[in-house]
Structure formats: structure tokens, C-alpha cells
Amino acid sequence: MRRALSIALRARITKHLPRLAWQPPLLAAAGIGALGALCTIGFREGVLLLEQLVYGRSGSLVGIAGSLPWWQRLLAPALGGIAAGLLLAWARRYQARGDDYMEAVVLGNGDLGVRASLLRALSSTVTVASGGAIGREGPMVQLAALTGALFGRWRALPVPRRRLYVACGAAAGIAAAYNAPIAGALFVAEIVLRSLAVESLGPLIVAAVAAKLVVAQLFGFRPVYHMPAMRLSGDGPAMVLGLLGIVAGLLAPAYLILLDGSRTLFQRWRGSAPWQQLAVGGLLVGVISIANPAVWGNGYSVVNSVLQGGWLWQPLLALLLLKLLAVAASVGSGAVGGIFTPTLFAGAVTGALFGSLFHCLWPGLVPVPAAVVVGMGAFLAACTHAPLMSILMIFEMTDSDDLIVPLMASCVLAYAISHALRPQSIYAGTHGRGQYMPALAMASDLLRTDPPRIAIGQSLGELEAVFVRFRWQHVYVIERDGTFLGAVSLHDFGPYRQTNADTAAPWPVAMIRRDYPRVLDTAPIWQVMDAVGGHPGERLPVLDHSGSLRGYLTKTDLMLMFRGLESVGAH
């Protein structure tokens, strides 16, 4: 009995070993995640160093802006815009299609330009340090993604694997920037790849967790936003907070329209150089900061201050309007940076205003910090159209498990309303015509094993037995070592068999169709489509790089893959 169980277990393991062996290598994803984390840390330290050199101190840009005289507050973003624009113009000399990590994953070949990425990161460093109202996460993620691209280039990997490793680097960058590994993996899966398939999600999670461990080892663990102690009493506050989803769902499209309008205005300035546009954008931020220095930077320190409470609704409303104008000026002028953190700022202040309103109507019903947290999640979901990522992102950044129920309700509600009003998200331009293409798929993802095969030198009777067993129109021909040679057609075999009764004799090699189409297991899906399009049969043999037969794929499986993606897109 024990021996029978051992044999059954061994057979089960052997059955799954080939499939497991061809999963994306998780060890490489972990290495990319660790290197990506170091890149994000390097960028952050570079910004702090530049702040120290320019202002004599580093840390909160809002605090720095408040300590400067008005004329320095006016000129610093403008001069920073000039320097950042010159660096950006230099980067464009080396920039090619796909140098953005999202395009490299979805439309490109999984490669990123090193010089362009580094120069864009330097441009962003100057913009951020000089007070630009934009986030740091954009260049952080780009640099982390660059580590994945360099690994793929170094190993000379096929395009789908290069794309996957760029995506792993991006997930690591987000995880390191926000101390949110799960949300970082889901950001790339839900927004960039638009797929939660385990083949891609597994390496993304490994890369994000590795990045998180590196950051934790160097800086310790603490949530990005510091929540005051509080608890919700009963179901009433949770229901009220869920209504924030309606508010965010209605306001988010207006916010996105504001950003699009700012980009359009700057694009109409024909003949202008990048440094001119960024200088004007920086000057506008400087002008706004004279009225309120809190518009400098990405808003991280202000959100933490709002979370602690004590703000009146009038200054909150004024700050929100001024900050939105500053963000629009920075984004519209083409400054390199992220829009993620400014979006969280808009949601946080919106939530604070919502909480202040209910505090006036029903004191003590809804804690304002709870409304701030739920507002961040709802606004993020409404802008990104990624509610699952938004829920986990806010949960990881605030470590507030008491708010998970109203957070889930408001994020889903905000997404539904915002998507109905404006189908395009804040990342609408990322996919373009490549949306829903299976960017990471290749022939091995459709592999079926145990095809009909016959070796040279085997008998005519053995070949006949293979045709009878499989009932296919073709049998694949291999050498004794497994090398694929071609195929024998039933159309050729049938007449020959009728005139030759000696089934023990070797079958004639002249029947081999050596030009029979085949694909490599690492072939991207578009190459598979080309091969399938020129082949009248249902199946294609799949080979490894040594030319050995691994298995086959079918047209039906290929069509089902695309049908599944279409249904996701329609949803």
C-alpha cells in the first residue's frame, strides 16, 4: 500500500514538474525587487541632498517654503523649472518609443534607455527639490523598472520575459516608495498589465516584498501616513463614510479634466522649449506659493498634518483649490514626476472637508481622520479606476484596519461613478492601441504536451499505430535525441501503407515534410499568430532553443486567450 502511494505521489509530482519549471523565475524577481528598492532610496537621498545644498536644510518642502522670503519662494520653482527643462531636453536626445516603463511593458520590447531614464530622473530631482507640485514616485518607479530592463538585456531574454521583469521593477519601486508591497504588485497588475494571472502576479509580489524588506532593513517599518488613535462606534459612521465614494466619484472626473486642460494649454504654446514650459509652470507654482507655501511639494507633510485634525474648513478649502492649480501647472508644463501622491492629497483634503461638514451637523459621528483616510482611497480609486489596488494601498499606508469596510464601499462606489462619467482613467494614455493585448504571453504559455511523434528508424507498423491512436492528420518526426525534423502527413502515409504490407520495415524518410511550420517556446504571441495564420491545421509543434520538440499548441487555445481578454475589456 505504501509503495503504491509512493508511486502515485511520484507520478503526480512528475506530471507537474515541467509546468513548474517554466514558471517565471521568482529568484530573479526577488533580485530585481532588491535592486529596485536601492534605486528608489538613492533617488530619495538625492533629492534630500539637493535640498540641503540649495536651502541649507532638507525634509518637508512645505516647511522650507514657509521659511523663505516671498521672492525666493517665487523664483525657486521657476529657476528649478529652467534647470529641469534643460535636463529634459537633453534626455529627449536619447529617448525612444517605450522609454516610459508602462509603454515598455505594454507596447515596447521590454527595454528602457539608460541615459534617458537617468536624465529624466535628474530632471525630476530638480523639479521636486525646487518645490514643484508633483510626486516623487514617478522617477522612483522608472529607475526601479530600469533594473528589470537591464537584467533582461543582460540575460538576452525573450521579449515577454523582459516585459515581465520591467513590471517587477515597477512593482518594487511602488512598494519601496509607499511601504506597500501588496498594493505595489496590484498597481502594476491592475493598471499596467490589466491581468491578475498568477504567472505574472507571483513575480510581481515577490519583487515588491523584496523591495519592502530592503527598505525595512535600512529604515525600519512605519506606515507612510501616521494615524491618530481612534475607533468607529457602530455601523452609522461606516455608512456615512461610504458616502464619500459618491463625492469622490463626482469630483474625480473634474480633477482629471483640469489636468488634461492644463496639458492642452501648454501644448498649444508652439515652438517653446521644454525649459521655457517648465519655467512658466514653476513660476505659476511660485506665484501660488506666495499666498500659501503649503502648495510646494507632493503634499505628504500636509496630509499628515490634516490627519491629526485641528483644521478649519475655510483654510482647507482654500488650500485644496490652490494645490489643484499648482499641480495642474506642474503636470501641464511637462514636469517629470508622479501624479499619485498629489491625487492622494486631493482625496485627503476632500475627505477632511466631508468630515468637517458632518462634524458640524452631527458632532462626534464621523472622526475627521477616518474621513481623510477614506477620502484618499475613494479619490484614488475614482482616478485610477483600480479599486482593489486603492483599497490595499490605503490600508498598507495607514495601517488602519478599522476602516477597511467603509474604505471598500467608498472605493467601489467612487470607481463606478467616475467610470460612468469618464471612462478614461488618469493613466488613459498608457495602453493606447495595445490595450488588452497579452503583453507577457508566449508560446510556452499555451503549451500542450505529449504530441504524436515518431522517430527515424522506427517501423511502418509503429507509425501506423501512432496515426490510429491520435487520429491526427500529421505525426511529428524527431531524431533519437528529440530534435524536431518535420511531420508525416496522413495524406502521404495512407497510399504508401496500402501498397506496402511489411509493417516491420522502417518507414521511408522521404515522406517527411521538413518545411512543416513550427514555433519556439519563447516566441511572443504575435509571432505565434503569424505562424498560425499561415498554417491551415489546428496545431503547431513547439520547440525549445536546441530544436527539440517540447509539445504543441492549438488555434483553439489561442482564440480562447483573446476571447478572455476581450471579455475583460468589455467588463
**% of the chain exceeding 70 in pLDDT:** 88
pLDDT tops 60 at residue 429: no
pLDDT tops 60 at residue 295: yes
> Which pLDDT band holds residue 81 (cuts at 50, 70, 90)?
very high
Please provide the average confidence, as pLDDT, over all residues in the chain.
84
Mean pLDDT of 78-94: 90
The reported pLDDT for the residue numbered 488 is 93
Tell me the pLDDT tens digit for each residue of 228-268: 877 777 677 788 888 999 999 999 999 999 999 999 999 88
pLDDT tops 60 at residue 437: no
The reported pLDDT for the residue numbered 111 is 82
The reported pLDDT for the residue numbered 332 is 92
User: Between these two residues, 198 and 27, which has the higher pLDDT value?
Assistant: 27
CA atoms of 241 and 401, how far apart (whole Å)? 15
pLDDT tops 90 at residue 5: no
Tell me the pLDDT tens digit for each residue of 322-357: 999 999 999 999 898 888 899 999 999 999 999 998
Mean pLDDT of 279-290: 95
CB 381 within 8 A of CB 391: yes
pLDDT tops 50 at residue 27: yes
Mean pLDDT of 29-58: 91
Residue 336 identity: V
pLDDT tops 90 at residue 4: no
The reported pLDDT for the residue numbered 195 is 66
Q: Which region among 72-76, 190-194, 497-501 has the lowest average model confidence (pLDDT)?
A: 190-194
Mean pLDDT of 367-389: 93
CA atoms of 247 and 257, how far apart (whole Å)? 16
From edge to edge, which strands make up the β-sheet containing 549-554? Answer: 519-520, 539-543, 549-554
User: Between these two residues, 570 and 180, which has the higher pLDDT value?
Assistant: 180
Mean pLDDT of 271-291: 92
The reported pLDDT for the residue numbered 433 is 36
pLDDT tops 90 at residue 83: yes
Give the β-pairing of 539-543 and 549-554.
antiparallel
Q: In the numeric block, which cell numbers belong to residue 540?
A: 503547431
> Which pLDDT band holds residue 7 (cuts at 50, 70, 90)?
very low
pLDDT tops 70 at residue 98: no
Mean pLDDT of 490-513: 87
Task: Give the closest residue to 35 by CA, choosing from 143, 167, 184, 160.
Answer: 143
> Which pLDDT band holds residue 105 (cuts at 50, 70, 90)?
confident
Mean pLDDT of 542-563: 83
**Domains (ranges, CATH) in the chain?**
25-219 (1.10.3080.10), 236-434 (1.10.3080.10), 443-569 (3.10.580.10)
CA atoms of 488 and 476, how far apart (whole Å)? 6
**Alpha carbon 78 to chain centroid, angstroms:** 32
The reported pLDDT for the residue numbered 565 is 43
Tell me the pLDDT tens digit for each residue of 155-203: 888 777 888 899 999 999 999 988 889 989 988 887 777 666 666 788 9
The reported pLDDT for the residue numbered 297 is 87
pLDDT tops 60 at residue 135: yes
The reported pLDDT for the residue numbered 495 is 87
The reported pLDDT for the residue numbered 353 is 95
Q: In the numeric block, which cell numbers belong to residue 436?
A: 488588452
**% of the chain exceeding 90 in pLDDT:** 43
> Which pLDDT band holds residue 96 (cuts at 50, 70, 90)?
low
The reported pLDDT for the residue numbered 562 is 62
289-308: b (≥16 Cβ within 10 Å) or e: beebbbbbbbbbbbbbebbe
Mean pLDDT of 47-57: 89
User: Between these two residues, 525 and 21, which has the higher pLDDT value?
Assistant: 525
The reported pLDDT for the residue numbered 571 is 34
Mean pLDDT of 310-327: 93
Mean pLDDT of 95-102: 64
Mean pLDDT of 17-31: 64
CA atoms of 199 and 204, how far apart (whole Å)? 9
CA atoms of 481 and 473, how far apart (whole Å)? 24
Give 387's contacts (C-beta < 8 A, 6+ positions apart).
381, 411, 412, 414, 415
